[in-house]
């Protein structure tokens, strides 16, 4: 089963993708995590993507599509949760075409809705673990030990694109561009809207109910 999480930055996509892994064994596939890894390793893809990433702009479709399709092909047909991809209609079209070729499909698209003020508040408290990109929040989901990931004990850091100006820019792109994907997937009758402002466990229950149908 393949699931797409759509939601603005700070809507809780990564946290809920972790829950889907725990509960249903779906592998999380976060395009932002994959890009950060390429950038940190200085791969050719990372070098090309870096200036876009640092500005908070979308990385060109061709680069991201190739990266995600490579991940899906290497995941051997086990179910995945896509987090942060697709973000544009050409990305969604390329994904559909590639899955069709593999005899797979997207089962459900979950839209985690949250008001902009809440997103801004959450993003300002967000910390990510170095080892695996686990998401913590000093306000809403603090780790047991400050600055350390509960799961793998790696160091927590604040992302370079989580500054106020870049956050505002990234949210603008979400609400002007990525939001169009709701029309794309609504035409396929796949979208479930979930109130992402609720507590994490309540959102997880709604996510599982939507996925289990
Ligand atoms: P995220 O961790 O999902 O917030 O993504 C961080 C940054 O990675 C974004 O601001 C973009 O620069 C880039 N990025 C991640 N996913 C995509 C995508 N599907 N298309 C284009 N750029 C992306």
Q: State pLDDT tens for residues 120-168.
A: 989 989 999 999 889 899 988 899 999 999 999 999 999 989 999 999 9
**Structure letter (DSSP) for residue 2:** E
| Ligand 1 atom at minimal distance to the Cα of residue 30 | 3
Would residue 30 count as lying in a domain? yes
| Residue 104 forms part of a structural domain | yes
Return contacts of 60-69, CB within 8 angstroms, 24+ apart: 61/88, 61/90, 61/91, 61/94, 64/31, 64/35, 64/91, 65/90, 65/91, 65/94, 65/95, 67/31, 67/34, 67/35, 67/38, 68/29, 68/31, 68/34, 68/95, 69/94, 69/95, 69/98
Range of the domain at 12: 2-115+191-212
What pLDDT, on a 0 to 100 scale, did the predictor assign at position 150? Answer: 97
pLDDT at 77 over 80: no
* 157, part of any domain: no
pLDDT for position 136: 93
pLDDT digits (tens, 9 = 90+) for 152-162: 999 999 998 99
Q: What are phi and psi of 15, to 5 degrees?
A: -65, -40
Ligand 1 neighbours (beta carbon < 6 A) = 9, 31-32, 35, 52-53, 56-59, 64, 84-87, 91, 161, 170
Q: Count the domains in the chain.
A: 1
Q: Is residue 80 domain-resident?
A: yes
CATH number, domain with residue 41? 3.40.50.300
pTM: 0.93
Distance 208 CA to ligand 1 centre (A): 25
> Using alpha carbons only, what angle is made at residue 170 by residues 138 and 98, rounded to the nearest 5 degrees?
105
Distance from Cα 87 to the centre of ligand 1, integer Å: 8
Report the nearest atom of ligand 1 relative to the CA of 31.
Answer: 16
Q: Supply the pLDDT for residue 89.
A: 97
Is residue 181 assigned to a domain?
no
Residue 131 lies in a domain: no
The average pLDDT across 34-43 equals 95
Is 127 contained in some domain? Answer: no
Residue 147 lies in a domain: no
């Amino acid at each position: 089963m393949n699931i797409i999480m759509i939601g603005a930055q700070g809507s809780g996509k990564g946290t809920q993708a972790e829950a889907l892994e725990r509960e249903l064994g779906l592998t999380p596939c976060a395009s932002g995590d994959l890009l950060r890894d390429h950038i940190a390793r200085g791969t050719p893809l990372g070098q090309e993507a870096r200036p876009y990433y640092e500005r908070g702009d979308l990385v060109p479709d061709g680069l991201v599509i190739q990266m995600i399709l490579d991940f899906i092909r290497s995941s051997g047909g086990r179910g995945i949760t896509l987090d942060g991809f697709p973000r544009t209609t050409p990305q969604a079209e390329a994904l559909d075409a590639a899955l069709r070729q593999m005899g797979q499909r997207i089962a459900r698209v979950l839209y985690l809705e949250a008001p902009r003020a809440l997103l801004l508040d959450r993003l300002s408290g967000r910390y990510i673990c170095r080892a695996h990109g686990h998401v913590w929040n000093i306000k809403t989901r603090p780790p047991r030990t400050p600055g350390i990931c509960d799961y793998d004990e790696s160091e927590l850091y604040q992302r370079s694109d989580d500054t106020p100006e870049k956050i505002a820019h990234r949210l603008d792109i979400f609400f002007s561009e990525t939001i169009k994907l709701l029309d794309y997937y609504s035409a396929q009758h796949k979208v479930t809207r979930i109130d992402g402002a609720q507590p994490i466990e309540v959102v997880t229950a709604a996510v599982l109910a939507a996925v289990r149908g």
